[in-house]
Amino acid sequence: MPTPAPETAARQRWMSVLARASADTIAAQLEGAPALPPSTVLRGPESGLVMMRGRAGGGGSPFNLGEMSVTRCTVRNAQGFVGHAYVQGRDQRQARLAAELDAALQDPAHHAALEAAVIAPLAAAQQEARDEAAAKAAATRVQFFTMATMRTS
Amino acid sequence: MAYVAVKGGERAIDNAHAWLAEDRRGDPAVPELSLAQIQEQLGRSVDRVMAEGSLYDPHLAALAVKQAQGDIIEAAFLLRAYRTTLPRFGYATPADTAAMQIRRRISAVYKDLPGGQVLGPTYDYTHRLLDFMLAAEGKPPAPAPLAEATEPTMPRVSDILRGEDLIEGDGEPNPAQEPGDLTREPLAFPASRDVRLQALARGDEGFLLAMGYSTQRGYGGNHPFVGEIRVGEVSVEIVPPELGFAIDIGDVTLTECQMVNQFKGSKTKPPQFTRGYGLVFGHAERKAMGMALVDRAMRHDEFAEEPNAPAQNVEFVLYHSDNIEGTGFVEHLKLPHYVDFQSELETIRRMRREAEANSAAMKEAAE
């Protein structure tokens, strides 16, 4: 049983990228990647609920805001790596693919190829979408041209 | 006999539902709505169903809107019923709205706030004239203009004003205290602010609008200003026990309203602006504002205010803000009450007989 200890931060990053990618987009990236090792499902994929929380006033005591649908899956691959996935929504195929990738990405033998073929392009596409939304928001930012004269007093 | 009546009712119900399905579909010559169309083009309806159904899932909410023929309360009811079929995996880390990816962020009190006023996709400043261009299905609109984004996240106005101590803070969270959960325990009074905020977040938008409006018209008013409204995407984080560290599971759209209200002070504390808070699923400014106004009104005990207005009456507001409970109790009146009513009929007939006998006896005595 291999016990690799990948940086938690790196694992958090790829899990966050996979949680935001649909099954179809993950599958499309996998077409250009080496085949994932076979794996057996330990749990799920199963859909359930996570209770989201806010804070009174934005930064005060927590309160329960409402639930969201979440799907989770756990697999063990042929090399013995255990992969987990928790993804928003009810797409069981996405959760299964994300768990298989989480397992394979922990394996130094597969990590670099999968990072380059799957995670990096998905992360870039997600960043591009965020940048576009930020650019649209920036275009609606109000410019107060009269401010300089109003401030003279 | 009773059994025969049930059988007759069954067939009528089946036939009624068959007609409902046909009616829902409408003229088959008109193309059927897809869930993607509802999700993409009726987003505010989807948002409202998620908020009042208290379940964030745009795809399911779109299905509920379609199934309910656009009846928002019926659709929210469908979501609430569906959630009972799913297991609870756990609680998320409280959302950090200061780290929101901003689409819209405005302040009515602070013109040149850091990060600026970002209008976003808003109906404000539109003329509310029907746009007949939309009636003629045409080309897609021109893409929205882009500009260089300098500040991807923006500080909350409450944190900016907090610098001078002019405004009430958020309060120190008590790490030992688990917030109440209305999906686990029924509402009980006195209700703490965490429970009140949960109830308001899933409350009926129309009810909260009316209650908030009543505070502005003098029923428990506190002269509110919109300190800030922000709309955008917030990432959701959980800590699964099998991993032992936090992971992102996706993004949700939230609307937050910071209402700034007139000041309160005491012998020991100089006057400060007070605050009401609103946080709602989806893009829902009207509801977030109503929630913030009502939240502030319900905090009367913290500021030693006399609670004599409807919005300050915590029990009244919380017992009547949930439209699923409201619709259940009001609409159950449509169901057969034949036996109840039969006994009422017997009672009223007896009362009338007695009244007639009494008046006859009085008449006799008078003669």
| ipTM score of complex | 0.91
Q: Looking at chain B, which residue has its C-alpha nearest residue A91?
A: B59
Q: Which two tokens stand for residue B105?
A: 């962020």
A9–B contact, CB cutoff 8 A: no
Output the DSSP codes for B201-262. HTS-HHHHHHHHHHHHTTSS----EEEEEEEEEEEEEE--TTT-S-EEEEEEEEEEEEEEEE
Better pLDDT: B321 or B135: B321
Q: Which of residues 76-135 of A touch B (CB under 8 A)?
A: 84, 86-90, 130-135
The pLDDT assigned to B7 comes to 59
**In chain A, what residues touch B249 (CB-CB under 8 Å)?**
19, 50, 70, 86-88
CB pairs < 8 Å spanning A and B: 239
Q: From the CA of A31, how many Å to the nearest CA of chain B?
A: 24
- In chain B, the percentage of residues whose pLDDT exceeds 70 is 97
Q: How far is B179 from chain A (nearest CA, A)?
A: 5
* pLDDT per position as a tens digit, A92-120: 999 999 999 999 999 999 999 999 999 99
Mean pLDDT on B250-275? 89
Determine the Cα–Cα distance for residues B43 and B250; give it in Å rounded to an integer: 19
Position B292 pLDDT exceeds 50: yes
Structural domain of A93: 8-150
Per-window interface: A 30-59 vs B, CB < 8 A: 46-59
Split into its structural domains, chain A has a count of 1
Say if A3 falls within a structural domain.
no
Cα A86 to Cα A47: distance, rounded to the nearest angstrom: 9
Taking 60 as the threshold, does the pLDDT of residue B3 lie above it?
no
Rounded to whole angstroms, the Cα distance separating A122 from A25 reads 8
Alpha-helix residue ranges (DSSP H) falling in chain A: 8-19, 23-30, 92-105, 108-114, 120-139, 147-150
Residue B6 has pLDDT above 60, yes or no: no
In a domain, A33, yes or no: yes
